[in-house]
Amino acid sequence: MGQVGDMMNKAFWVLAAVTALMFAYAPVAIAGAPYESTMLLVQKIFYFHFSTWMALTAAVVICGTGSAIYLFKGSATADRLAFAAAELTVVFGAFGLVSGSLWARKAWGHWWQWDNRLTMALLLELVFIGYLLVRKYGGPGAEKLSTAMGIFGAATAPFVYKSVDWWRTIHPKTSVMRSLGTTSPEMWRVVWFCTFAFLLLFTLLLVVRVHLEERRAELDRLYLEAEG
Amino acid sequence: MRIIQRGFVIVCSLLLTALPAWAVQTPPPQEGFVPINELPPGEQLPAAPFLIGAYAFFLVLMVGYVWTVARRLNKVEREMKALEQRSSQGSMRR
Amino acid sequence: MFVKTALLVLKKDFTIEAKSGEILYTTLFFAVSCVLIFAMAFVKEGEPVDGAGAGILWIAVFFAGNLALGRTFERERYAETLRALLLAPAPRPAIYVGKLLGIVLLLLLTELVLVPIVAFLFHVALFTRPLFLAALLVLGTIGFASVGTLFAAMLVRTRARDVMLPILLYPITIPVIIAGLLGTSALLQSPVDEPMAILWIALLICFDAVFVTLALWMFEPLMTE
């Protein structure tokens, strides 16, 4: 067990170093990527904007699945994963909304537009803020209550993704991304480099956050032992 | 404790390595897509503050988040140590 | 057994409500007050703002629904009847369905009163396609109430339940209100935009299916200690 723990520790720090290097290189890669013809410089927000929503999708899926597993099987690990993922959803979502807003101000002229994709994304963020509020203020048994938020939030997420395809909105459609491999391979490479870096960062943060929950659970156990 | 220190070292090295890379951004060569021939009209907002603002916000957010996690972890570790001390004192008295 | 239990729960709620009428009358009055407050905000120079009527109708329904949910489960908590219901050898999802039907009926009664009032005050031609409007309102109410009943039931024992219910409920049910609202707006266009209304009705059916299924699936484990 000690050997596995050491290996995991080492793996964590190796991954952390790799992530740091990737993020250090990212601005260079982004600067070298070709300009998009209509939006020029400000479009370069896209690389992190898209990546953060990818990380958010991973977080939402983990939160939803973890919540469901905790609700039906009672697994404490699943609950910790769900909690950590919910917090990361809020963090990455906040960056997604702010970066999108800054980009929109330059590209569309408004900070915010009530089109479907943005509205649904904002709602998703609110759902997971609600998750965190339930955890904090729900009193005893709040873990179970928050699973409802996690599961419903995860169920709403596919609508966020598909909303731009069903209704013509001001936000770019999903087909833009899917055809980027053919329209601009250089952009494609940078996008996936950034996305990979973000997913690595997400994994690292998730591990650290779950570690915090595990220590908290350990502390609770010690308190119970001390009283009993 | 060491975790938090190492975390900060990594974040600081991120910042330091990113800074010179940032300097490369002015003005990058235009390969691939050729921008439209008509220059962007002068009345448009300058793009650089938005771009830099977005990336700066990202850094601030990540550093801030890691800091809050580290703070909470510290608190838990401190409480655990205090609890262990109390229980060992209690067992010694017996 | 399932249907019988659900109908029994519904009958119980109906009997209690029929005697006092407390929740129905207070919800109705609150909904009408909502509409009046919006009337103050959305009237310019004596004329209501264009397109405000549909929005106000739906907002009033959702706010009143939130109140009704809170009051219904407060009543259950006060008399400890929820625990009694859960202890009974009845299928738990049936209890959920019974309570859901009660809330839906209450809200539909409220809407029955609200629609003429909104049409009257805001000069909105809400009766051009009554069947479509009815479909939108029924489906929207079911969507809202399905999530609302689940959340209100699970929050019954929580300390901050009154404020937590709207915080948790609204982000999840706003897609329902958007669908209902845009569908109603489509009905209020000068040549009635029927394809759009049908699209929104279809979407509401999707939402309802997903929400009711999830709620039925989750009700039992959430209510167990």
Q: Do chains C and B touch (3 or more CB pairs under 8 A)?
A: no
Which of B9, B26, B55 has the most A C-beta neighbours within 10 Å, making it the best mutation to test the interface with A? B55
Q: pLDDT value at position B13?
A: 65
Q: How far apart are CA C67 and CA C169, in angstroms?
A: 12
Residue of A124, A139, A148 lying closest to C154 (CB–CB): A148
Q: How far apart are CA C166 and CA C175, in angstroms?
A: 15
Neighboring chains of B (3 or more beta-carbon pairs < 8 A)? A
Q: How far apart are CA B88 and CA A200, in angstroms?
A: 41
Q: pLDDT value at position A28?
A: 81
Exposure string over C161-185, b if 16+ CB within 10 A, otherwise e = beebbbbbbbbbbbbbbbbbbbbbb
| The Cα angle at residue A185 between residues A179 and A189, in degrees rounded to 5 | 105
Q: By the 8 A CB rule, do B69 and A212 touch?
A: yes
* Chain-chain contact of A45 with B51 (C-beta, under 8 angstroms): yes
What is the average per-residue pLDDT within C124-131? 84
* Chain-chain contact of C214 with A120 (C-beta, under 8 angstroms): no
Instruction: List the single residue in B with minimal CA-CA distance to A213.
Output: B73
Residue A21 domain-assigned (yes or no): no
Beta bridge partners of C44: C47
Q: Does any CB of chain A come closer than 8 Å to the CB of residue B61?
A: yes
Q: What is the mean pLDDT of chain C?
A: 89
Instruction: List the single residue in B with minimal CA-CA distance to A201.
Output: B62
SS3 at position C113: helix
Q: By the 8 A CB rule, do B16 and A27 touch?
A: no
How far out from the chain centre does Cα A84 lie?
Answer: 11
Q: How far apart are CA B30 and CA B40, in angstroms?
A: 15
Q: Does any CB of chain A come closer than 8 Å to the CB of residue B23?
A: no
Residue A36 domain-assigned (yes or no): no
DSSP character for A40?
B
Say which residue the tokens 């990737």 belong to: A22
Instruction: List the single residue in A with minimal CA-CA distance to C167.
Output: A130
* Chain-chain contact of C159 with A139 (C-beta, under 8 angstroms): yes
Residue A14 domain-assigned (yes or no): no
* Chain-chain contact of A45 with B54 (C-beta, under 8 angstroms): yes
Q: pLDDT value at position A169?
A: 54
Q: Does any CB of chain B come closer than 8 Å to the CB of residue A32?
A: yes
Contacts of A132 in chain B (CB under 8 A): none
pLDDT digit string, tens, across residues C35-94: 989 888 887 777 777 778 888 999 999 999 999 999 999 888 887 888 888 888 888 899
Q: pLDDT value at position C108?
A: 95
Asked if pLDDT for residue C225 goes beyond 70, the answer is no
Q: How many CB atoms lie within 10 A of CB C70?
A: 18
* Chain-chain contact of B83 with A216 (C-beta, under 8 angstroms): no
Residue of C147, C167, C221 lying closest to A152 (CB–CB): C147
For residue B90 the two structure tokens come to 């209690």
For residue B13 the two structure tokens come to 């090295």
DSSP character for C47?
E
Number of structural domains in chain A: 1
Q: By the 8 A CB rule, do A139 and C159 touch?
A: yes
| Residues in CB range of A146: below 8 A, 6 or more apart | A67, A82, A83, A86, A131, A134, A135, A138
Contacts of B44 in chain A (CB under 8 A): 106
Contacts of A95 in chain B (CB under 8 A): 57-58, 61
Predicted TM-score (pTM) of this structure: 0.84
Å between B43 CA and nearest CA of chain A: 12
Which ranges of A74-184 would DSSP assign to H, the alpha helix? 76-107, 116-137, 142-166, 174-178, 180-183
* Chain-chain contact of A134 with C168 (C-beta, under 8 angstroms): yes
Q: By the 8 A CB rule, do C128 and C187 touch?
A: yes
Which of A134, A146, A162 has the most C C-beta neighbours within 10 Å, making it the best mutation to test the interface with C? A134
Domain that holds residue A207: 42-227
Q: What is the pLDDT along chain A (228 residues), one digit of tens a residue?
A: 567 777 778 888 888 888 888 888 888 888 777 776 666 676 778 888 999 999 999 999 999 999 999 999 999 999 999 999 999 999 999 999 999 888 888 877 788 887 777 888 898 999 999 999 999 988 888 889 999 999 999 998 887 666 655 555 556 666 666 666 667 777 888 888 999 999 999 999 999 999 999 999 999 998 888 887
Residue A35 domain-assigned (yes or no): no
Q: pLDDT value at position B35?
A: 42
- Whose CA is closest to C145, among C175, C201, C203, C104? C104
Residue A18 domain-assigned (yes or no): no
Q: pLDDT value at position C224?
A: 79
Residue A162 domain-assigned (yes or no): yes
- Whose CA is closest to C10, among C109, C95, C108? C95
Instruction: List the single residue in C with minimal CA-CA distance to A140.
Output: C158
Residue A9 domain-assigned (yes or no): no
Residue A207 domain-assigned (yes or no): yes
Asked if pLDDT for residue B28 goes beyond 60, the answer is no
Asked if pLDDT for residue B36 goes beyond 50, the answer is no
Q: How far apart are CA C82 and CA C158, in angstroms?
A: 14
- Whose CA is closest to A53, among A22, A25, A91, A11? A91
Which of A65, A70, A152, A165 has the most C C-beta neighbours within 10 Å, making it the best mutation to test the interface with C? A152
Contacts of B5 in chain A (CB under 8 A): none
Q: By the 8 A CB rule, do C164 and A136 touch?
A: no
Q: How many CB atoms lie within 10 A of CB C189?
A: 14
Beta strands in C34-99 (DSSP E): 43-44, 47-48
Instruction: List the single residue in A with minimal CA-CA distance to C174.
Output: A123
Contacts of A28 in chain B (CB under 8 A): 21, 24
Q: Does any CB of chain B come closer than 8 Å to the CB of residue A226?
A: yes
Q: pLDDT value at position A2?
A: 66
Asked if pLDDT for residue C2 goes beyond 80, the answer is yes
Residue of A27, A212, A226 lying closest to B76 (CB–CB): A212
Å between B24 CA and nearest CA of chain A: 7
Å between A131 CA and nearest CA of chain B: 18
Q: How far apart are CA A50 and CA A54, in angstroms?
A: 6
What is the average per-residue pLDDT within B28-33? 48
